[in-house]
């Protein structure tokens, strides 16, 4: 059959009308849309593609430097295991670097500090404080995520998990602003603005909350300020309650005698 005859037949360029139509453009033959629809969704969070140290560092950088976009577009997911591992690792490295810095300063400044910190009781105290601080800050980020959900007027399907992912991924800010982050930026940052991510991490919470409310929850622009203030109040209340509980536990530990004995030696 000649080309002119094929084109005159209803249904396009063949002898019969197309059986399947592209859901995107409505054409019977559409390789571009077909390949786009069949392609697997690419995860944009590096740590959800790989558990490597470089992916951990890249995710911490992105959630600090591009916080509004990161927390607005990338939190629409159901996974909680990778964000939890990310938060644990960030707090472990961040607080570990702080503990090492403080311990080194005390060893150098106190007479006989090296001998003092070599004692098993002092080592136990340092490890206890490190693990307690990691657990405490991990709880802080979980509570920060949980505090988001109850005050939301709009609760799309999956928003509870998105709020938890928000809290867990915000642990990346702690890694950036810790001595470990300072060292890593000094080693691998691009000169001369290698330390700009630290400033960005300090400003990230408000931008991240704005991105989350507008991008993930789709809060109208006119209601953004009211929603933000409600979230901030709920977060402050949650942190205050947790602080009182931790302070009470610390006082009880000291009153038991073991904590008081260790501190008296220091």
Q: Rounded to the nearest 5°, which phi and psi values hold at 157?
A: -60, 125
Q: Which residues contact 103 (CB under 8 A, 6 or more apart)?
A: 117, 126
C-alpha 181/C-alpha 57 separation (Å) is 9
pTM, rounded to two decimals: 0.71
Distance CA 122, CA 40 (A): 52
How does pLDDT run along the chain (266 residues), one tens digit per residue? 444 444 444 444 444 444 444 544 555 455 444 443 333 344 478 899 889 999 999 999 999 888 888 988 777 777 889 999 999 999 999 999 988 888 888 777 777 666 666 777 777 777 888 888 888 889 888 888 887 777 666 677 777 888 899 989 999 999 998 999 888 888 876 666 677 888 888 888 888 888 888 877 777 777 777 777 777 777 777 777 777 877 777 777 667 755 555 555 55
């Amino acid at each position: 059959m000649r080309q002119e005859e094929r084109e005159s037949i209803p249904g396009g360029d063949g002898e019969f009308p197309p059986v399947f139509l592209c859901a995107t453009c409505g054409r019977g033959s559409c390789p571009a849309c077909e390949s786009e629809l069949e392609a697997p969704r690419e995860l944009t969070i590096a740590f959800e593609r790989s558990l490597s140290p470089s992916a951990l560092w890249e995710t911490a950088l992105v959630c600090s430097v591009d916080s509004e976009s990161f927390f607005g577009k990338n939190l629409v997911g159901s996974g909680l295991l990778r964000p939890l591992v990310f938060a644990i690792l960030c707090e472990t490295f961040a607080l570990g670097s702080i503990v090492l810095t403080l311990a080194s300063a005390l060893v150098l400044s106190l007479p006989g500090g090296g001998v003092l910190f070599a004692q098993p009781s002092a080592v136990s105290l340092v490890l206890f404080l490190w693990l307690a601080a990691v657990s405490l800050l991990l709880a802080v980020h979980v509570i920060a995520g949980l505090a988001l959900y109850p005050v939301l007027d709009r609760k799309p399907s999956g928003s509870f998990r998105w709020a938890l992912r928000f809290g867990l991924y915000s642990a990346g800010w702690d890694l950036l602003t810790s001595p470990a982050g300072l060292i890593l930026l000094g080693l691998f940052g691009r000169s001369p603005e290698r330390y700009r991510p630290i400033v960005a991490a300090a400003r990230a919470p408000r931008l991240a909350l704005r991105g989350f409310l507008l991008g993930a929850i789709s809060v109208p622009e006119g209601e953004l300020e009211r929603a933000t203030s409600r979230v901030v109040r709920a977060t402050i209340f949650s942190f205050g309650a947790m602080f009182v509980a931790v302070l009470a536990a610390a006082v009880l530990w000291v009153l038991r005698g073991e904590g008081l004995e260790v501190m008296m030696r220091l």
